[in-house]
Amino acid sequence: MTSTFTTTDGAEIFFKDWGDGQPVLFSHGWPLNADAWDEQARLVAENGFRAIAHDRRGHGRSSQTWDGNHMDRYADDLAELIETLDLRDVVLVGHSTGGGEVARYLGRHGSARVAKAVLLGAVPPVMVESDSNPEGTPREVFDGIRAGVDADRSQFYWDLSESFYGFNRPGATTSEGARRAFWRMGMQAGLRAAYECIAQFSETDFTEDLRRIDIPVLVAHGGDDQIVPLHDSAVKSAELIKDSTLRVYSGAPHGLYGAFRTDFEADLLAFLKH
What are the backbone angles phi and psi of residue 154, rounded to the nearest 5°?
A: -60, -50
Distance spanning both ends of the chain, measured CA to CA? 27
Q: Which sign, positive or negative, has the C-alpha torsion 23, 24, 30, 34?
A: negative
What angle do the packed helices 38-45 and 259-273 form, to 10 degrees?
40
Catalytic residues: 96, 225, 254
What are the backbone angles phi and psi of residue 257, rounded to the nearest 5°?
A: -160, 145
Cα separation of 142 and 27, whole Å? Answer: 22
The residues, ordered by sequence, that sit 6+ positions from 20 with a Cβ below 8 Å of its Cβ are 48, 50
Cα separation of 236 and 93, whole Å? Answer: 18
Q: How far is CA 181 from the centre of its chain?
A: 16
Reduce the DSSP state of residue 93 to 3 states and report it: strand
Cα separation of 29 and 122, whole Å? Answer: 9
Query: How many Cβ atoms sit within 10 Å of the Cβ of residue 97?
Result: 28
Q: How far is CA 20 from the centre of its chain?
A: 23
- Per DSSP, the residues of 104-165 read HHHHHH-STTEEEEEEES---S--B-BTTBTTSB-HHHHHHHHHHHHHHHHHHHHHHHHHHT
What are the backbone angles phi and psi of residue 26, rounded to the nearest 5°?
A: -100, 135
